[in-house]
Chain A
Amino acid sequence: AQSVTQPDIHITVSEGASLELRCNYSYGATPYLFWYVQSPGQGLQLLLKYFSGDTLVQGIKGFEAEFKRSQSSFNLRKPSVHWSDAAEYFCAVKDTSAGGTSYGKLTFGQGTILTVHP
Chain B
Amino acid sequence: SAVISQKPSRDICQRGTSLTIQCQVDSQVTMMFWYRQQPGQSLTLIATANQGSEATYESGFVIDKFPISRPNLTFSTLTVSNMSPEDSSIYLCSVEKPGVGYEQYFGPGTRLTVT
Contacts A42-B108, A90-B42, A90-B43 given; does A104 touch B92 at CB 8 Å: no
Interface size class of B (residues with CB under 8 A): 20 to 34
Contacts A90-B42, A90-B43 given; does A104 touch B106 at CB 8 Å: no
Shortest A44–chain B CB gap in Å is 4
The SS class assigned to the B binding surface is strand
Q: B83-115: contact bitstring with A at CB < 8 Å (1 yes, 0 no)?
A: 000000000101010001111111111000000
- CB neighbours (8 Å) of A45 from chain B are 106
Contacts A43-B108, A43-B109, A101-B56 given; does A108 touch B43 at CB 8 Å: yes
Name the contact of A104 in the complex, choosing from B33, B100, B101, B105 (C-beta under 8 A).
B33
Interface size class of A (residues with CB under 8 A): 20 to 34
- CB neighbours (8 Å) of A36 from chain B are 106
Task: For the A-B complex with A34-B103, A51-B101, A107-B45 known, give 8 more contacts whose Cβ atoms are closer than 8 Å.
Answer: A36-B106, A46-B1, A101-B56, A103-B48, A104-B104, A108-B44, A110-B41, A110-B42
Binding site for A on B (CB under 8 A): 1, 4, 31, 33, 35, 41-45, 48, 56, 58, 92, 94, 96, 100-109
Can you offer 29 A-B residue contacts whose CB atoms are under 8 A? A34-B103, A42-B109, A43-B108, A44-B94, A44-B106, A45-B106, A46-B104, A46-B105, A49-B101, A90-B42, A90-B43, A94-B102, A94-B104, A102-B56, A102-B58, A103-B48, A104-B31, A104-B33, A104-B48, A104-B102, A104-B104, A105-B33, A105-B45, A106-B33, A106-B43, A106-B45, A106-B104, A108-B43, A110-B42
